[in-house]
Amino acid sequence: MEGLRPNSRPGRHRSDGQVRIPEVDPLFGSGIRMTAGWAQHDGAGADLGFWTLLSRLPRLMRISFGLAWQAGHLLLPVAVTAKLLAGAATGAVLLATNAVLVLLLSGPPTLERLTQALPVLLGVAVAGVARSVLSSMGDAVNGKLAPRIDRAATVRLLERAVRVELVIIKNAEFRNLMSAAARGALSARMVTTYAIALVEALTGLVAAAGVLTVLHPLLMPLMVVVTVPSAWGAVRMARARFVSMKRWTELQRQLETLSELLIGSSPAEEVRAHRAGGFLLHHYQRLARLSEAEQARLAGLEARTNLMSDGVAGLARLAMYGVLGALLTSGAVPLAVAGTVIIAIRTGTGHLTALVSAVNDLYEQGLFVQDWKQACDRAEQEAIRGGTIKLDQPPDQIFARNLWFTYPNNEQPSLAGIDMTVRRGEIVALVGENGSGKTTLAKLLTGLYMPQRGAVWWDGRTTAELDRATLFDHVALVAQDFVHWPFTARVNVTIGRSTRRPDAAALRESAAFGRADEVVDRLDAGWETLLAPEFLGGTMLSGGQWQRIGLARAHYRNASVVIFDEPTAALDPRAELEVFDRVGDLAKGGRAVILVTHRLASVRRADRIYVLDRGRVIEHGTHDALMALNGRYAELYSLQAKQHQDSVPSS
Ligand SMILES: Nc1ncnc2c1ncn2[C@@H]1O[C@H](COP(=O)(O)OP(=O)(O)OP(=O)(O)O)[C@@H](O)[C@H]1O
């Protein structure tokens, strides 16, 4: 464990003042963030100039606005209009305030002057209320729109993802794009929220600048001078926060991973038995200290930046008062206007700071939304297309000719020129050592993957010509890693054919097929028991119990082509024997059964056995023929038989 201890003490700083995080973490290697698509844009705006960033915004915002329009039609224009009007009301408040001050301060206070000022004062109040109402209305409309955008973006992504070719959805690069897109779907609502904030800030700023210009042309540049230091401080801190977040996010994810490992239920056994808790805690503390140091650095930088910008702003304000004093003494600006000038400058400064931060936020969120769009488009391109010929009856025969298949990013083909046949009423077994291509072949036979060379024929049509949805209707699959749906026992079986009307007799029959009935009988709430220990009231099943549920599910699917990929690996010997008897019954009932297994004793009854080695069929025939051949199958079979004899004590 010593060797894994970090050699960099947390809190040490780089020459640029940032906390040094080791390039290669002793626990996470080169880091999680490298593989996470969504992380690539964190702090994306940090390297760009403010104006470049501003110029790229419209392109990014177009995607989100398109989505907002689809999700809520007029809601976005209504929200933006409300904020624009709120901005105009800000201008009205300032102008009316000025009118009141002019009236009240243009001479000694008299009752007459007060009475004259009352209607304008009322105007100030009305404009102020209107501003609040309009601004709140904009927020309320946006509050209604935002979840709709969430739903529209997420549903569009999910709809497209579910139709993507299996080989693509399993590809790491596509998975990365999907993780970025899932983050982007959540950002779409934020883009519109920030855009509305930007409109509010911009109109408020324009109103303040307009009022100042009306009062005296020199006052507007004066406001700019006063706001420059605060705007500089805001931009600098936004940048620094971006850069920090980039590092902070990475640390945060590592901390979350460690915390999940420490409190999670699946690693709990090993955390205790291997006493890994102390090790994990040690690294948690180490990373937490790095994170603390980074936050402390940021807080220090913020304090220094604020001090500097406040200092310069103070000087600018002093100069402003000087200029204002000069304008007052020269009579260019009446004394009564001075109050309005100060209020307008304060309003303008606040809006300018909000504007800068909205632009930064918009840019970053916009990039995430761009990922979402890219993933949706790519998913559409990669959707399962297949042919147009509908398969309306079960195939009598499936055969593969000269089948080649290489996974993306692999150099070696996983299947290299396979020929094989399976007919209705037959059990065909695929055997061979780990990685020889059995599972891949089963997926090609059922149209889950398409061959790069050669073809799989379902009667007179290739899987490429057939409409894949109708082809899948004839397939039932018990995969090695079949899904443990976090739903009730009933749904876990009936999801095998979710379009079928509830059929209690069929459910009972399927449960008996997989011996899942014995499992369900022992559950507290029977078929309604939730099979998800992660939820309150959920139950945990053992591996073998799950396998029985999986078998029942495949049976309930009632398909003519059934693939069993290691269906009994977790079953006890009695259950295993029974399952193989029933697999035989399935074939006798007119189904084509493809059985992938390492249990050679159970393939004796298969009509044909294909022995695979590095993607090729090296032997095929019945059990007796292959034993007589005395080749690889005979060797593997004898090895297993001997192992079995050795493990059973002789009487
Ligand atoms: N999704 C994938 N991406 C890349 N390569 C893969 C993928 N799935 C399988 N392979 C590769 O294809 C080859 C055949 O794998 P396959 O799973 O078909 O073998 P198998 O005979 O079923 O193995 P096992 O008996 O261990 O289940 C292996 O070299 C494996 O590394």
Helix axis angle, 75-105 to 111-161, nearest 10°: 160
pLDDT > 80? residue 545: yes
Ramachandran quadrant class, 469 (left: phi over 0; alpha: psi -120 to 50; beta: rest): alpha
Average pLDDT over residues 243-260: 77
SS3 438: helix
Compare 20 and 241 and report the one with higher pLDDT. Answer: 241
Residue type, 516: A
Ligand 1 mutation target, pool 436, 596, 610, most atoms within 8 A of CB = 436
Q: Is 47 or 586 the better-scoring residue by pLDDT?
A: 586
C-alpha span between 172 and 105 (Å, rounded): 72
* Ligand 1 close to Cβ of residue 435 (< 6 A): yes
Share of residues in the chain with pLDDT > 90 (%): 31
Q: How far is the CA of 617 from the centre of ligand 1 (A)?
A: 15
Nearest-CA residue for atom 4 of ligand 1: 407
What DSSP string runs through 173-206? HHHHHHHHHHHHHHHHHHHHHHHHHHHHHHHHHH
> Is the pLDDT assigned to residue 60 strictly greater than 80?
no
- Tell how far the Cα of 440 is from the centroid of ligand 1, in angstroms: 6
- Measured in Å, residue 439 CA sits from the centre of ligand 1 at 7
3-state SS string over 366-388? HHHHHHHHHHHHHHHHCECCCCC
- ipTM (interface pTM): 0.98
Q: What is the sign, positive or negative, of the torsion defined by CA atoms of 11, 14, 20, 22? A: negative
> How close is the Cα of 463 to the center of ligand 1, in Å?
21
Tell me the mean pLDDT in the region 405-419.
Answer: 92
Question: How much distance in Å is there from the Cα of 118 to the middle of ligand 1?
Answer: 84
Rounded Cα distance, 342 and 347, in Å: 9
Decide whether any atom of ligand 1 lies within 6 Å of the 170 Cβ. yes
CA–centroid distance, residue 636 to ligand 1 (Å): 20
Cα 125 to averaged position of ligand 1 atoms, centre (Å): 74
Highest mean pLDDT among 35-44, 240-249, 305-314, 336-345: 305-314
Q: Is 414 in the pocket of ligand 1 (CB under 6 A)?
A: yes
Gap between the Cα atoms of 214 and 236, Å rounded: 32
Q: Using CA atoms, how far apart are residues 178 and 196, in angstroms rounded to an integer? A: 28
Q: pLDDT confidence of 8, banded at 50, 70, 90?
A: very low
Q: Nearest residue CA, atom 2 of ligand 1? A: 407
Kindly report, residue by residue over 280-311, the tens digit of the pLDDT: 999 899 989 988 888 888 899 989 998 998 89
Domains of the chain: 49-216+358-383 (no CATH), 483-558 (3.40.50.300)
Q: Is the CB of 437 under 6 A from ligand 1?
A: yes
pLDDT at 615 over 80: yes
Amino acid at 474: H
| Cα distances (angstroms) measured from residue 393 to each of 473, 489, 561, 631 | 10, 30, 11, 39
For a ligand 1 pocket test, name from 170, 411, 431, 438 the mutation site with the most ligand atoms within 8 angstroms of its C-beta.
Answer: 438
d(CA 518, CA 194): 57
